[in-house]
Amino acid sequence: MIKGNFIDNLPKVYGIYTGGFLGFIIIMAIGEQMGMSAKAIGIAFVAFTVAIYAIIGYLSRTAQADAYYVAGRQVPTVFNGMATAADWMSGASFVAMAGGIYFKGYGYMALLVGWTGGYVLVASLLAPYLRKFGCYTVPDFIGTRYGGNLTRFLAVVVLTVASFTYVTAQINATGTIASVALDIPFQYAVYVGLVSILLCSMLGGMRGVTWTQVAQYIVLIVAYLLPVFWISNKMGAGFFPHFMLADEVARIGELEQQFGFVKNSAADLANVPKGLAGITKAHSAVNATPWAFISLALAMMMGTASLPHVMMRYFTTPSVKAARKSVGWSLFFIFLLYSSAPMLATLSKLSLIDPSLPTGIIGKSIAEVQAIDWYQNWNSANLMFVSDFNGNGTLELNEFFMGGKAVVLATPEIAGLPYVISGLVAAGGMAAAMSTADGLILAIANAISHDVYYKIIDPKAETAKRLVVARVLLVVIGFAGATIAAMEIQGILGSVIWAFDFAMSGLFFPLVLGVWWKRANKEGAIAGMSLGLLSGLGYLIWVRNGGSGFLGITQLTFGIFGSAVSLVAMVVVSLMTSEPSAATQKMVDEVRVPSGKSILGRQH
Q: Which residues bind another protein (CB under 8 A)?
A: 106, 109-110, 112-114, 116-117, 119-121, 123-125, 128, 242-247, 249-250, 284-286, 288, 290, 293-294, 297-298, 301, 318-321, 324-325, 327-328, 331-332, 335, 338-339, 342-343, 589, 592-595
Least Å distance between CB 428 and another protein?
A: 20
Q: Which CB sits closer to another protein, 6 or 332?
A: 332
Least Å distance between CB 582 and another protein?
A: 15
The DSSP line for 126-177 is IHHHHHHHT-SSHHHHHHHHH-SHHHHHHHHHHHHHHHHHHHHHHHHHHHHH
Least Å distance between CB 339 and another protein?
A: 5
Least Å distance between CB 10 and another protein?
A: 18
Q: Which CB sits closer to another protein, 247 or 368?
A: 247
Q: Which CB sits closer to another protein, 332 or 479?
A: 332
Least Å distance between CB 2 and another protein?
A: 21
Question: Do 132 and 598 touch, CB atoms closer than 8 A?
Answer: yes
Classify residue 402 by its DSSP letter: E
Question: Do 489 and 449 touch, CB atoms closer than 8 A?
Answer: no
Least Å distance between CB 13 and another protein?
A: 23
341-353 helix and 106-121 helix, angle to the nearest 10 degrees: 170
Question: Do 403 and 23 touch, CB atoms closer than 8 A?
Answer: no
CA–CA distance, 388 with 483 (Å, rounded to integer): 40
Q: Which CB sits closer to another protein, 119 or 453?
A: 119
Q: Which CB sits closer to another protein, 380 or 595?
A: 595
Least Å distance between CB 326 and another protein?
A: 9
Q: Which CB sits closer to another protein, 324 or 471?
A: 324
Q: Which CB sits closer to another protein, 324 or 455?
A: 324
CA–CA distance, 156 with 162 (Å, rounded to integer): 10
Q: What are phi and psi of 319, to 5 degrees?
A: -150, 170
Q: Which CB sits closer to another protein, 295 or 422?
A: 295
Least Å distance between CB 373 and another protein?
A: 32
Q: Which CB sits closer to another protein, 242 or 364?
A: 242
* Signed CA dihedral, 175, 180, 184, 187: sign only: positive
Question: Do 208 and 200 touch, CB atoms closer than 8 A?
Answer: yes
What does the chain come to in residues?
A: 604
Least Å distance between CB 521 and another protein?
A: 20
- Kind and range of the H or E run holding 384: strand 384-386
Which residues lie below 8 Å from residue 230, measured CB to CB, with a gap of 6+? 412, 415, 417, 421
3-state SS, residue 354: coil
Question: Do 336 and 88 touch, CB atoms closer than 8 A?
Answer: no
Least Å distance between CB 238 and another protein?
A: 10
- HEC profile of 567-584: HHHHHHHHHHCCCCCHHH
Q: Which CB sits closer to another protein, 360 or 594?
A: 594
Task: Supply angle C-alpha 588, 592, 598, rounded to 5.
Answer: 80
CA distances from 234 to 225, 284, 337, 353, 405 (A): 14, 23, 20, 17, 22
